[in-house]
Amino acid sequence: MTKQLWAAFAACILSTLAVAADSMVDKPEWGKYFADAGVTGTIVVVDERKAPAATLVFNRERAARRYAPASTYKIPHTLFALDSGAVTDEFQVFAWDGVKRTFAGHNQDQTLRSAMRYSTLWVYERFAKAIGEPKARAYLRSIDYGNADPTTRQGAYWVDGNLRISALEQVAFLRKLYRNALPFKLEHQRLLKDVLIKQATSDWILRAKTGWEGKYGWWVGWVEQNDGAVFFALNIDTPRRFDDLPKREQIVRAVLKSMDLLEAE
C-alpha cells in the first residue's frame, strides 16, 4: 500500500471513529452492574452490528480519563515485538530465569501464546529491553496510543511508568486492529488476534485482555459475530485488590449479556 493510500485509509478510519464519538450515548442503567459489584469505574462499548456504529458509555468523564494500560498493553506490545524481531512467532520459547513469582503460570518457560494467556510480565520486560525506549516511542506514536510516553524511573513503563490511555482510546485502537488497519504486517496482526482468543463458540469469538495496575484494573477486547463486532473497554478501581479482580469480567459480561451477546455465566 502506498503512503498516499495508507493516509487516505487512516483518515477514513479516524473519520469513522470521530462520528462514533460524536454520537456517544450515555448508559446510566449500566451503573447497576458496578453497584452490584461494589466498585467504581467506566465502560465503553462500540456496537458495529448495525450502521452507523453506536458508541455506548457509562461514566463518560472517566471514559475519557487516561490510566496506565498495565497488561492490556501486551496487545500493541506484541505487534512491536514481532515487528522488531524480539519474538519471531508463537512457537519461540523463552526460558524461565528460575525466579519464583507470585503467579504460578509465570514460573515456567513461555511462548508468545502462554505469555499472553498468563500475562507473563517478565517476557514482555525482555521485549521492552530488546526494543528500547526510542523505538517504543516511535511505535506508540505510529498507532496513536494514548500519550505515547514509554518513560519510567523504574519498573515496566506500562505499569509503573508514564504511559497512559483512556477507555475511549483503547476501543479506538482495538477497532483498528480488528480491521488489520494498523501499520504492521498483516500476518502479525492476525497472529496477535489469534493469541487474544479468550472464548469461542460456533456463533461468536471473544478476544480480550485483562490488566491490573494495583489500584485499578482493565478488561478490553471485542466479540465478533457474523453480523459484526462489539468492542469494549472497562476499567474499575480495585481497593480490595485481588478480591476485586474477577469483577472486571463480571461487569463486562453482564453488560454484553444485556445486549444479547455471550451466554449467561
Q: 70-86: per-residue pLDDT in tens? A: 999 999 999 999 999 99
C-beta atoms surrounding 248 within 10 Å: 26
Residue count of the chain, please give it. Answer: 265
- Whether the per-residue pLDDT at 44 is higher than 60: the answer is yes
> What average pLDDT does the chain have?
92
- Whether the per-residue pLDDT at 13 is higher than 60: the answer is no
Residues 147/163, Cβ–Cβ less than 8 Å = yes
Boundary residue ending a domain (132, 164, 196): 164
User: Regarding predicted confidence, which is higher, 265 or 82?
Assistant: 82
Do 170 and 265 share a domain, yes or no? yes
How far apart are alpha carbons 166 and 14 in whole angstroms? 16
How far apart are alpha carbons 233 and 45 in whole angstroms? 7
Boundary residue ending a domain (149, 164, 179): 164
Do 174 and 264 share a domain, yes or no? yes
Do 133 and 263 share a domain, yes or no? no
> At 23, is the pLDDT very low, low, confident or very high (cuts 50, 70, 90)?
confident
Do 265 and 180 share a domain, yes or no? yes
Per-residue model confidence (pLDDT) at position 3: 44
Q: Tens of pLDDT along 163-180?
A: 999 999 999 999 999 999
pTM: 0.89
- Whether the per-residue pLDDT at 1 is higher than 50: the answer is no
Annotated catalytic residue 142: no
25, 36, 20, 18: which is closest to 58 by C-alpha?
25
Q: Is the dihedral of CA 162, 142, 166, 236 positive or negative?
A: negative
Which amino acid, residue 116?
M
Do 110 and 158 share a domain, yes or no? yes
Q: What is the C-alpha R_g of the chain?
A: 18
C-beta atoms surrounding 72 within 10 Å: 28
Do 146 and 210 share a domain, yes or no? no
Do 114 and 208 share a domain, yes or no? no
C-alpha cell, 218: 482493565
Do 207 and 76 share a domain, yes or no? no
Q: Tens of pLDDT along 125-153?
A: 999 999 999 999 999 999 999 999 999 99
Do 43 and 91 share a domain, yes or no? no
Per-residue model confidence (pLDDT) at position 103: 86
216, 169, 131, 193: which is closest to 46 by C-alpha?
169
In terms of residue numbers, what domain contains 159? Answer: 69-164
Do 171 and 255 share a domain, yes or no? yes
Do 92 and 149 share a domain, yes or no? yes
- Residue tagged active-site, from 71, 114, 119, 166: 71
The CATH number given to whatever domain includes residue 193 is 3.40.710.10
Do 176 and 256 share a domain, yes or no? yes
**Total count of domains within the chain:** 2
